[in-house]
């Protein structure tokens, strides 16, 4: 057989396109043998680079006092028993996982089998998902202590000043669907069924429950029963919170009874928790975190400042927050604590204008056009009629005075259509507010350029940690259920954020300096 010329046989494109003469010989390829057994020498320490964040996390966690995690450990040296997983390893695994946007214990178990960073941390061992998930939500006090210890270390490095602290709330979705909310009757019925189920499962023989699957089923039944019992308690709590009207039937989630329906940034509503984060402006580190079931931030300022105080032993000098935290109570409270409170002024003029528009009052007959006479404690209307003081009362830490015109004066007035078109049984009323000195001082302060400038920088400092936690750590929905566990997951995310900032601001610089030298 005649072979093709050498230059033609090297043109593989022609060979594969079928243009080449049929008599060509088939090309030979390297064999892929997936049946073979292969051994490789592996240096575990070389699995990751010298400047890998897993090394920094391991180093940082190694400097913490973890004795609280081992105080009840029974497996000790010299005695029989299975050795426990080192808390330094479990903490490092969770911190590294959160920093990579991973909040699932099962996913971490899988990653331990092939991901070099996880393999380096575990020393090529696979950590069981149950051990990981139990560790995350057990040891609540130790976890809070860990967060404070980390703040102590960062404070010692001069990274926290508490000169200026921001507070901001972010809604994170609960691990519950919007359609899991039910009325009390449905939950009581479901609880009866769950109790019967638990009783039936408890009566299973030891042989049957010895099986792993049966034990898991038993645990699931008990957890469902406990969840429904918690759900029943939440009905009274919801009423006491004041979010339910007298004629309204409250509904509670059967999946996560402590979650509340909250407004989301996209305008929708979803079962969520309100996470309050305090950030120190010096280096953007989180100095306190708390979780609440409240749908708004109005009553969260004082508790946020108290958490900062508890964590660092110092009250922040200045607290910057958005308009959701502005109330007379908060202004007075911050003044009493000697905290410089910076927040935007409420647009009362704008609010009043829209109110006038709704009531059909023209601009010439707004309250500001009525003249106050302190000597007689009365107002004079634009038509010269007198409005004496009728009522004095207190509301939202302020004193209010109500002044009313005579009904007959208004009914016979040519300007009634512009002044009080809707009033049929009473004359026009105007109000005067006697402001607290603290509120007057706050208003004057917030009119100054320096205060406006401070407030202008708030969003960058306050919203960065929230954005980081949601976008980088992918914590848009909690992996755990219940206020306590959700609070713990929030602490995990915040301490991870602080360690990431330490890596960025300190560890990397030191690493570069050492290696450059």
Q: Which two tokens stand for residue 243?
A: 């979010």
486 neighbors 478 (Cβ within 8 angstroms): yes
CB of 355 to ligand SF4, least distance (A): 16
- Using the Cα atoms of residue 285, residue 290, residue 293 and residue 295 in order, give the sign of their dihedral: negative
CA atoms of 461 and 468, how far apart (whole Å): 12
CB of 242 to ligand SF4, least distance (A): 36
CB of 405 to ligand SF4, least distance (A): 4
74 neighbors 81 (Cβ within 8 angstroms): yes
CA atoms of 133 and 143, how far apart (whole Å): 14
- Say whether 427 sits in a helix, a strand or coil: coil
Nearer to ligand SF4, 183 or 421 (CB): 421
Torsion of CA 297, 101, 103, 166, to 10 degrees: -20
CA-angle at 428, arms to 424 and 430, nearest 5°: 145
Nearer to ligand SF4, 132 or 430 (CB): 430
The strand pair at 340-342 and 318-321 is best described as parallel
| Alpha carbon of residue 113 to chain centroid | 31
Nearer to ligand SF4, 312 or 405 (CB): 405
Cβ-based neighbour number of residue 234 at 10 Å: 21
Cβ-based neighbour number of residue 253 at 10 Å: 25
**Tokens 């508790």 — which residue?**
303
178 neighbors 269 (Cβ within 8 angstroms): yes
CB of 416 to ligand SF4, least distance (A): 5
Nearer to ligand SF4, 290 or 427 (CB): 427
Roughly what angle, to the nearest 10 degrees, separates helices 105-114 and 129-137? 130
Nearer to ligand SF4, 118 or 365 (CB): 365
- Using the Cα atoms of residue 480, residue 483, residue 484 and residue 489 in order, give the sign of their dihedral: positive
287 neighbors 308 (Cβ within 8 angstroms): yes
Q: If residue 253 lies in a helix (H) or strand (E), which one and from where to where?
A: strand 252-253
Give backbone dihedrals phi and psi of 386, rounded to 5 degrees, phi first: -90, 140
CB of 406 to ligand SF4, least distance (A): 8
Binding site for ligand SF4 (CB under 6 A): 381-383, 385, 405, 409-410, 413, 415-416, 419-420, 427-428
CA atoms of 237 and 252, how far apart (whole Å): 11
CB of 430 to ligand SF4, least distance (A): 8
Nearer to ligand SF4, 136 or 428 (CB): 428
Nearer to ligand SF4, 287 or 413 (CB): 413
Nearer to ligand SF4, 190 or 415 (CB): 415
105 neighbors 133 (Cβ within 8 angstroms): yes
Nearer to ligand SF4, 265 or 384 (CB): 384
Nearer to ligand SF4, 93 or 405 (CB): 405
Nearer to ligand SF4, 21 or 417 (CB): 417
CB of 411 to ligand SF4, least distance (A): 8
CB of 382 to ligand SF4, least distance (A): 5
Intra-chain end-to-end CA distance of the chain, in Å: 69
CB of 386 to ligand SF4, least distance (A): 9
CB of 431 to ligand SF4, least distance (A): 14
Give backbone dihedrals phi and psi of 454, rounded to 5 degrees, phi first: -65, -45
CB of 421 to ligand SF4, least distance (A): 9
Nearer to ligand SF4, 110 or 385 (CB): 385
Q: Which two tokens stand for residue 214?
A: 């049966």
Nearer to ligand SF4, 101 or 417 (CB): 417
- Say whether 111 sits in a helix, a strand or coil: helix
Using left for φ > 0, alpha for ψ between -120 and 50, and beta otherwise, residue 345 falls in: beta
CB of 435 to ligand SF4, least distance (A): 25
Report which of 198, 200, 199 is spatially closest to residue 220, judged by C-alpha positions.
198
CB of 276 to ligand SF4, least distance (A): 46
Bridge partners (DSSP) of residue 171 are: 274
């Amino acid at each position: 057989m005649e072979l093709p010329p050498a230059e033609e046989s090297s043109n593989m494109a022609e060979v594969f396109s079928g243009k080449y003469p049929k008599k060509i010989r088939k090309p030979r390829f390297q064999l892929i043998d997936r049946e073979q057994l292969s051994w490789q020498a592996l240096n575990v320490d070389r699995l990751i680079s010298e400047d890998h964040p897993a090394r920094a996390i391991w180093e940082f966690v190694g400097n913490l006092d973890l004795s609280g995690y081992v105080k009840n450990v029974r497996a000790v040296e010299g005695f029989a028993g299975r050795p426990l997983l080192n808390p330094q390893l479990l903490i490092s695994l969770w911190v590294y996982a959160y920093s990579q946007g991973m909040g699932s214990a099962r996913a971490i178990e899988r990653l331990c089998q092939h991901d070099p960073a996880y393999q380096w941390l575990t020393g090529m061992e696979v950590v069981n998902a149950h051990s990981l998930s139990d560790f995350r939500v057990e040891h609540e006090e130790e976890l809070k202590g860990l967060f404070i210890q980390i703040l102590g270390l960062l404070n010692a490095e001069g990274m926290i000043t508490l000169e200026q602290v921001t507070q901001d709330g972010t809604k994170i979705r609960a691990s519950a669907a919007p359609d899991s909310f039910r009325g009390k009757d449905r939950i009581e019925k479901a609880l009866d069924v769950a109790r019967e189920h638990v009783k039936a499962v408890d009566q299973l023989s030891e042989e049957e429950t010895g099986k792993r699957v049966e034990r898991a089923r038993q645990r699931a039944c008990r957890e469902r029963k406990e969840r429904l019992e918690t759900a029943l308690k939440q009905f009274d709590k919801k009423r006491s919170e004041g979010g339910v009207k007298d004629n309204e039937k409250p509904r509670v989630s059967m999946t996560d009874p402590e979650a509340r329906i909250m407004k989301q940034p996209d305008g929708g509503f979803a079962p969520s928790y309100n996470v309050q984060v305090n950030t120190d402006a010096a280096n953007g580190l989180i100095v306190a975190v708390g979780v609440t079931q409240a749908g708004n931030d109005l009553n969260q300022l004082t508790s946020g400042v108290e958490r900062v105080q508890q964590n660092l032993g110092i009250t922040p000098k200045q607290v910057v927050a958005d308009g959701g935290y502005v109330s007379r109570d908060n202004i007075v409270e911050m003044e009493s604590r000697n905290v410089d409170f910076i927040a935007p002024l409420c647009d009362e003029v704008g609010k009043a204008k829209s109110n006038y528009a709704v009531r059909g009052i023209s601009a010439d007959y707004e309250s500001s056009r009525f003249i106050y006479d302190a000597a007689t404690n009365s107002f004079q209307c634009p038509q010269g009629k007198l409005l004496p003081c009728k009522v004095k009362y207190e509301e939202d830490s302020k004193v209010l005075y109500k002044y009313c015109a005579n009904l007959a004066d208004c009914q016979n007035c040519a300007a009634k259509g512009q002044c009080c078109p809707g009033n049929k049984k009473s004359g026009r009323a105007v109000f005067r507010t006697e402001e607290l000195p603290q509120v007057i001082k706050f208003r004057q302060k917030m009119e100054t350029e320096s205060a406006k400038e401070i407030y202008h920088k708030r969003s960058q400092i306050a919203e960065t940690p929230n954005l980081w936690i949601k976008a980088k750590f992918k914590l848009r929905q909690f992996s755990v259920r219940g206020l306590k566990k959700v609070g713990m997951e929030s602490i995990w995310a915040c301490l991870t954020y602080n360690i990431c900032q330490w890596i960025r601001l300190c560890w990397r610089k030191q690493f570069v300096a050492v290696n450059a030298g």
